[in-house]
A and B are shown apart, each in its own frame.
Chain A
């Protein structure tokens, strides 16, 4: 769990901000992430106390991770976009369009690869449209992706005719079955972890990642340093679209169908998970690990509520309270860590 450098006004190569060997370990450890791990630990403790039999069960942990997987992949894309100084409100709608397109009868005839290709192509396509509008058309990201939110959902409704597209390709359905695992880990979770790992490497170990942070932190400085801001933004939205395409395919596998209601409110869930994961909404700072933890925290809460038979109104109130609490704890710990 390495933290991103916080001094990002210039696209200089990353340097640990620690000032001595002994303090180095401390400064590299992100206290925001620790706080989040603490929240997760607290949730696990609540689960262990209230429903030990059902909660502390390998199947349940598998379930929590599986349910985190599709929204998790979307969150990785959204995190990168936000770190790059943008916002993507269209992810839920893109997921819907990609999942509907990939499950129309015509597409199903091409089998698993056809459906996967279709979902990813639609995702990247929509993402690039966002990117072109924002980078080269100078539209505000909020507006461009809001427009995509409306139109992609509309296209999805049109294409599906308001009907659930039931998947009949066994190869696709098999991916979501209980025995579809490697070393006990479901395929969908592996995809999630794979995307998260790639996102982490991209952000922390490549020029692309450093440029992303630079563009999000101070675009003007990034431009003066010779970074092609427009290209960078285009690629970030394209990546977010790619993540939506992958997530759409995961939902198809999970639910055995494509529906224009898929990915409903994913944009808000993904942004919320990224924020409680420590990503700065104004850009320039954030971690993939934090986002993954953020998603898992949310799914664990939902799981806990279901196990304890809590009704949905209480669930929503509690969810809101937990978002506020998590962010408050982070502010507190990050202030502490920065004054050390």
Chain B
């Protein structure tokens, strides 16, 4: 089902547009104080590293009970510390929607300048976003999207469909010459929409490779323990296959353990999200793990940038716009041995 990320992708500025804008800004000064002349009158007032108007950013995230979410919090914190003019007001994360609504309420009452919200459940948190916007506090919606565009000023997040698509393409290219290739999929939590989107993207990509058949799919729970359990079952269920896509690198620790325990290595594995452990494996190239599809936790740092720009009423550098965009979908890059060095620093524990 074409969900919001689709429409969002359509709204995205193209790469060409970005580079053109980057060229434009490179000719101009970012500082609004030194006006250089008529030709740059239209240039946006963009945010940069220089201290500006002080901004208090309220941050409400879910409970950081595993690697990726933990990395989200770390990224937000360290980015905020980078700016002298930013004060970050973080509430304790919760996976309970009612609790999280209460936390957003308390941030609204504190009258923070901008809110960054990563909802435990996007749809359920829509009302909280609306309330903040009505109170005059612009909301940066991080990752799990609200139901209504009225509930946020800007959305930034990952591309779950794109993750599946790129994982499928990578595997497809690897198995191109092989007839009757078999692929299996170890998904995350099936009751999360993001899991369905990742699977949809994966299936769509595989449609381009008629020689490949997906022979099995099981869902784990994003934990090491469930990854180990479900992978053991999958290995027993399918005596021989050529590739596996594991949706999540956190459960991937358990998945890799199950593979090691079985002693099998006739297939290649592609991970998801981009943990440090998986990136190390890709670099070492000593196991079945050959690639991982990014779902970068650095989006939290970008969300802080956007929130700061919002608070200072500036645009984003590298773009010609006066305002920050309404939505930004990140790219789910495939990290393999070829480009591992570039991405290794973004791996999370």
Determine if A261 and B65 form an interchain contact, defined as CB atoms under 8 angstroms apart.
yes
> B51 at interface (Cβ–Cβ under 8 A)?
no
When chains A and B are docked, how far (Å) is the Cα of A66 from the Cα of B231?
A: 13
Q: Are A259 and B236 in contact (CB under 8 A)?
A: no
Instruction: Tell me if A166 counts as interface (CB < 8 A to partner B).
Output: yes
Return B186 CB to nearest CB of chain A, in Å.
Answer: 10
Q: Which residues of B contact A263 (CB under 8 A)?
A: 225
For residue A306, which residues in chain B have a CB less than 8 angstroms away from its CB?
218, 230, 233-234, 236-237
Contact with A along B64-97 (1 / 0, CB 8 A): 1111011001000000000000000000000000
Which of B65, B225, B257 has the most CB atoms of chain A within a 10 A radius of its CB? B225
Q: How many A-B residue pairs have CB under 8 A?
A: 114
Closest Cβ of chain A to B339, distance in Å, is 24
B221 proximity list for chain A (CB < 8 A): 261, 264
* A259 contacts B223, C-beta separation under 8 Å: yes
Given that A162-B69, A255-B228, A257-B254 are contacting pairs, would A302 and B233 also be in contact in the complex, using a CB cutoff of 8 Å? yes
Contact of A259 among B64, B215, B224, B262 (CB under 8 A): B224
Complex CA–CA separation, A263 to B223 (angstroms): 10
B224 touches A255 (CB 8 A): yes
Residues of chain A at interface, number, CB under 8 A: 38
Residues of A within 8 A of B65 (CB): 157, 162, 260-261
Interface size on B, residues (CB 8 A): 41
A74 within 8 A of B: no
Shortest C-beta distance, B346 to chain A (Å), equals 16
Measured between beta carbons, the chain B residues less than 8 angstroms from A204 are none
- In contact, A164 and B67 (Cβ under 8 angstroms): yes
Query: Cβ of B232 and Cβ of A63 under 8 Å apart?
Result: yes
Q: Which residues of B contact A67 (CB under 8 A)?
A: 229, 232
How far does the Cβ of A170 sit from chain B's closest Cβ, in whole Å? 12
Given A309-B237, A312-B219, A254 and B69 contact (CB-CB distance below 8 Å): no
Q: Determine the distance from Cα of A163 to Cα of B66 in the docked complex, in whole angstroms.
A: 6
Interchain nearest-CB distance for B130 vs A (Å): 30
Residue A171 CB within 8 A of the other chain: no
Is the CB–CB distance between B223 and A261 below 8 Å? Answer: yes
- Whether a CB of chain A sits under 8 angstroms from the CB of B39 is no
Chain A nearest CB from B102 CB (Å) reads 17
Tell yes or no: B113 within 8 A of A by CB: no
- Distance, CA A260 to CA B67, complexed state (A): 11
Residues 179-205 of chain B, each 1 if its beta carbon lies under 8 Å from chain A, else 0 = 000000000001100000000000000
Give CA–CA (A308, B216) in the complex, Å.
9
* A59 contact set on B, CB distance < 8 A: 236
Distance between B236 CB and nearest chain A CB, rounded to angstroms? 5
Q: Are B66 and A162 in contact (CB under 8 A)?
A: yes
The yes or no answer to A177 lying at the interface (CB within 8 A) is: yes
CB-defined contacts of A163 to chain B, threshold 8 Å: 67, 70, 349
B263 to chain A: closest residue by CB: A178
Q: How far is the CA of A156 from the CA of B70 in the complex (A)?
A: 14
Query: Which residues of B36-75 have CB atoms within 8 Å of chain A's CB atoms?
Result: 63-67, 69-70, 73
Q: Contact between A54 and B223 (Cβ–Cβ < 8 Å)?
A: no
Map CB proximity to B onto A279-308 as digits: 1 under 8 Å, 0 otherwise. Answer: 000000000000000000000001100111
Partner of B253, one of A162, A176, A256, A260: A256
In whole angstroms, how far apart are the Cα atoms of A312 and B195 in the complex? 12
B283 contacts chain A at the CB level, 8 A cutoff: no
Note all chain A residues with C-beta closer than 8 A to B64. Answer: 157, 162
Contacts of A164 in B (CB 8 A): 66-67, 224, 250, 253, 277, 349
Interface residue? A109 (CB, 8 A):
no
Name the residue on A nearest B233 (C-beta).
Answer: A306
Distance, CA A90 to CA B65, complexed state (A):
18
Q: Which chain A residues in 29-72 approach chain B with CB under 8 Å?
A: 51, 53-54, 57, 59-60, 63, 66-67
**Among A63, A162, A309, contact of B70 (Cβ-Cβ < 8 Å):** A162
* A39–B257 CA distance with the chains assembled, in angstroms: 32
Question: Is A311 among interface residues, defined by CB-CB distance under 8 A?
Answer: yes
* Residue B33 lies at the interface, judged by CB distance under 8 Å to chain A: no
With contacts A307-B233, A312-B219 known, is A255 near B69, CB below 8 A? no
Check if B257 sits within 8 Å of A255, measured CB to CB: yes
* Distance (whole angstroms) from the CB of A302 to the closest CB of chain B: 7
A257 to B67, CA, bound (A): 13
Note all chain B residues with C-beta closer than 8 A to A313.
190-191
A266 to B221, CA, bound (A): 14
Nearest chain A CB to B253's CB is how many angstroms away? 5
A163 to B263, CA, bound (A): 27
Task: Kindly identify, within residues 137 to 185 of chain B, every residue whose CB is under 8 Å from any CB belonging to chain A.
Answer: none
6 A-B interface contacts by CB (under 8 A): A164-B224, A164-B253, A176-B261, A178-B263, A261-B222, A261-B225
The 7 closest A-B CB pairs, nearest first, are: A306-B233, A162-B70, A261-B223, A256-B257, A312-B219, A312-B190, A162-B64
17 additional contacts (CB under 8 A) given A177-B260, A309-B217: A54-B239, A162-B64, A162-B67, A163-B349, A164-B67, A256-B254, A259-B66, A259-B224, A261-B66, A262-B225, A264-B221, A306-B236, A306-B237, A307-B233, A309-B218, A309-B237, A312-B219
B-side interface residues toward A, CB under 8 Å? 63-67, 69-70, 73, 190-191, 215-219, 221-230, 232-234, 236-237, 239, 250, 253-254, 257, 260-263, 277, 349
- Listed in ascending order, the chain A residues whose CB lies under 8 Å from chain B are 51, 53-54, 57, 59-60, 63, 66-67, 157, 161-164, 166, 176-178, 251, 254-257, 259-264, 302-303, 306-309, 311-313
